[in-house]
Amino acid sequence: MNTNSPLFDRIRVKPDQDRRLQAELPGCQWPSCKAPATHRAPKGRLRASEYWQFCLEHVREYNNSYNFFAGMSEDAIAQYQKEALTGHRPTWKMGSIGGKRAARRGRAEFRGFDGPTDDPFSLFGEAGTRHARTASEGRKIFNAQRRALDVLGLEADAKRTDIKSRFKMLVKRHHPDANGGDRGSEARLREIIQAYNYLKTAGFC
């Protein structure tokens, strides 16, 4: 049996010398170097998938002088670094793709809760113009205001005097004193008061 075979190095606790490097690894590609190539180094920016095979000493020397941007102008380097921020993937301005709806949404201007906005996803709640309705008096009726008017049993074109008179009538109807102390409609009374206070805050009455 040949005990000098490289196969025995796998089972020896402490082999005399590592003969596997010379048997399995290619030689270093540095000129006049015959050491085993234990490391690889890229050949350049335009040859990204190709590598040199070097030993440890020469791969260190190669890395010290390696320049990825060799042969590029300063403008080209700046452009490359800018494109690297997005992984060299193409990008577009917001609203430039996606059809007319996306473009219109990109041009939309939010001017506060009292101004017009394009709010297709109801991000601004009642401020979206798609949820606004205009009453006969020329005021805008938002969803919460419409719900408050529904609680009082009124339409969107109700006037100030109508709101006040309806509120007084409903309070008298659902107040416990008017029902012999019965508190069964107390929740309804609370809802009416809250709706009226909201409309009062919104300037409806």
Residue 155 belongs to a domain with what CATH number?
A: 1.10.287.110
Q: Has residue 104 been placed in a domain? A: no
Q: How far apart are CA 205 and CA 196, in angstroms?
A: 8
Last residue of a domain, one of 48, 74, 100: 74
pTM of the predicted structure, to 2 decimals: 0.34
Question: Within 10 A of 9 (CB to CB), how many other CB atoms are there?
Answer: 15
Question: Which amino acid, residue 127?
Answer: A
CB neighbourhood size of 80 (10 A): 14
What pLDDT score was predicted for residue 131? 42
1 falls within a domain? no
pLDDT tens across 164-198, in order? 999 999 888 888 777 776 777 788 888 999 999 98
Residue 140 or residue 89, greater confidence: 89
Structural domain count of the chain:
2
Number of residues written out for the chain: 205
pLDDT in tens, 21-53: 555 788 899 998 989 999 989 888 778 789 999
- 197 lies in which domain range? 139-205
Give a yes or no: residue 175 inside a domain.
yes
**Do the domain assignments include residue 98?**
no
Q: Residue 73: which of 81, 65, 63 has the closest Cα?
A: 81
Q: 138 to each of 133, 141, 197, how far by Cα in Å?
A: 10, 9, 21
Looking at 22, 45, 74, which one is the last position of a domain? 74
Secondary structure of residue 74 in the 3-state scheme: helix
